[in-house]
């Protein structure tokens, strides 16, 4: 356990009992905690110190507060957030189950109807957030939690906070995950909900075929794929209209992407 996590555990000891580390990513470390007041397990995410310095407390709390107001069956709610000794943290329900990444690592491909059902649930969560002006910016299997057949989207607000902070310090820096990043996001442009829909199209493609589509952003240059039609053969088990409904949100030009995944 690091010095910062020990400080976090000691300072929050009256509210949470820090049990163990359960995950570590590029932006945060996840701990399984016990909410003492409500007698329930929770997941506490502590942002990496260098990211916390870039973000700043006020900006972090502002963005996380916007995300906390989202209410939808497929959006992981936020219980608490704050700062301790320079460490930014937020607290969410602990979900019994696994991430979509864990499921794909184990099984590689999902049955068509299950993959489409998961995509529709994620699309519903995104539609709710987008209607309130909130863009996720980092839709990927690691941020989708699966429990008892239900998909829940985690980490709304975090990528936005990091994006806003890094724009001040590194012009044109793209925040997100390369394999799922839209061309406009990769280029550091202003994004809207269609960027999340692009990422969801990549995610659904991976669920159906066992890997993300080729042509993702892997450097400072945006994807070159103008038309996703060359991926139709990878979805040969589906009839053609459904293939296009799945792939259309992945078009490079934003205005040609269509209305998302609720009809898959």
- Active-site residue (options: 33, 138, 155, 196): 138
Closest CA to 135 of 167, 162, 169: 162
Position 175 confidence tier, pLDDT thresholds 50, 70, 90: low
Q: Which residues pair with 45 in a beta bridge?
A: 30, 90
Greatest CA span in the chain, whole angstroms?
57
Q: What confidence category does residue 191 fall into, taking pLDDT thresholds of 50, 70 and 90?
A: confident
Alpha helix locations (H) across the chain?
3-11, 49-55, 57-68, 100-107, 112-131, 158-169, 183-186, 193-209, 240-247
SS3 46: strand
Task: State the residue for tokens 């489409």.
Answer: 116
- What the chain holds in terms of domains, given with CATH numbers, is 3-93 (3.30.200.20), 98-256 (1.10.510.10)
Does residue 52 contact residue 87 with C-beta atoms inside 8 Å? yes
And the tokens for 36?
Answer: 């003492």
- DSSP per-residue string spanning 77-88: ---EEEEETTEE
Q: Write out pLDDT tens, residues 133-164.
A: 999 999 999 999 999 889 999 988 776 666 65
Residues paired with 146 in a beta bridge: 98, 151
Average pLDDT, the chain: 80
In this prediction, residue 261 carries a pLDDT of: 53
Mean pLDDT of the region 103-129 = 93
Residue 218: count of CB within 10 angstroms of its CB: 11
Q: Which residue has the tokens 């240059």?
A: 221
At residue 153, the pLDDT reads 96
Most confident of 8-17, 116-125, 158-167, 221-230: 116-125
Q: Of 234, 185, 142, nearest to 247 (Cα)?
A: 234
Q: Catalytic residue at 168? A: no
With contact defined as beta carbons under 8 Å apart, do 226 and 253 qualify?
A: yes
pLDDT value of residue 239? 53
* 93, two tokens: 């329900």
How many helices (H) and strands (E) the chain has is answered by 9, 8
pTM of the model: 0.81
């Amino acid at each position: 356990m690091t010095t910062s996590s020990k400080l976090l555990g000691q300072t929050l000891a009256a509210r949470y009992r820090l049990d163990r580390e359960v995950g570590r990513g590029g932006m945060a470390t996840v701990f399984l905690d016990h909410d003492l007041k409500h007698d329930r397990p929770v997941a506490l995410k502590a942002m990496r110190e260098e990211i916390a310095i870039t973000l700043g407390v006020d900006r972090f709390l502002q963005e996380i507060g916007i995300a906390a107001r989202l209410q939808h069956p497929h959006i992981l709610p936020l219980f608490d957030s704050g700062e301790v000794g320079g460490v930014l943290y937020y607290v969410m329900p602990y979900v019994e189950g696994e991430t979509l990444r864990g499921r794909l690592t184990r099984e590689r491909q999902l049955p068509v109807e299950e993959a489409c059902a998961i995509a529709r649930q994620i699309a519903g969560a995104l539609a709710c957030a987008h209607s309130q002006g909130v863009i996720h910016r980092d839709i990927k299997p690691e941020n989708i939690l699966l429990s008892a057949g239900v998909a829940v989207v985690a980490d709304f607000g975090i990528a936005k906070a990091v994006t806003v902070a890094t724009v001040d310090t590194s012009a044109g820096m793209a925040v997100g995950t390369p394999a799922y990043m839209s061309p406009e996001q990769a280029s550091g442009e202003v994004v809207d909900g269609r960027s999340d829909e692009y990422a969801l199209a990549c995610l659904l493609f991976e669920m159906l075929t066992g890997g993300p589509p080729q042509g993702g952003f892997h450097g400072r240059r945006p994807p070159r794929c103008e038309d996703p039609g060359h991926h139709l053969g990878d979805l040969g088990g589906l009839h053609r209209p459904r293939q296009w409904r799945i792939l259309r949100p992945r078009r490079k030009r934003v205005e040609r992407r269509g209305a998302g995944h609720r009809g898959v």
